[in-house]
Amino acid sequence: MKLIFLGAPGSGKGTQAEYVSAKMNIPPISTGNMLREAVKNGTDAGLSAKAYMDRGDLVPDEVVIGIIKDRVAQEDCKDGFILDGFPRTVEQAQALEDMGIKIDLAVEIAVPDDRICERMGGRRVCDKCGASYHVDYKPTKVDGKCDSCDGNAVQRADDVPETVLSRLKTYHEKTAPLLDFYGKLGKLKTVEGQIEIEDTKRLTFEAIGC
- Residues annotated as catalytic are 13, 88, 123, 156, 167
Contact residues for ligand AMP, defined by CB under 6 A: 9, 31-32, 35, 52-53, 56-59, 64, 85-86, 88, 92, 158, 167
CA pair distance 151, 144, nearest whole angstrom: 9
Distance CA 43, CA 49 (A): 10
Least Å from the CB of residue 56 to ligand AMP: 6
Angle, to 10 degrees, between the axis of helix 44-55 and the axis of helix 161-170?
Answer: 100
Q: Which is nearer to ligand AMP, 169 or 206 (CB)?
A: 169
C-beta neighbour count of 102 within 10 angstroms: 9
Q: Are 159 and 188 in contact (CB under 8 A)?
A: no
- The least distance separating ligand AMP from the CB of residue 155, rounded to whole angstroms, comes to 13
Nearer to ligand AMP, 53 or 203 (CB): 53
**H helix or E strand, kind and range, residue 109:** strand 105-110
| Residue 156 CB, nearest approach to ligand AMP (Å) | 7
Nearer to ligand AMP, 28 or 56 (CB): 56
Residue 133, strand partner residues = 124
Q: Which residue is nearest to ligand AMP (CB)?
A: 32
Rounded alpha-carbon distances, angstroms, from residue 117 to 32, 55, 123, 168: 19, 17, 11, 9
> Minimum distance between the CB of residue 69 and ligand AMP, rounded to whole angstroms?
12
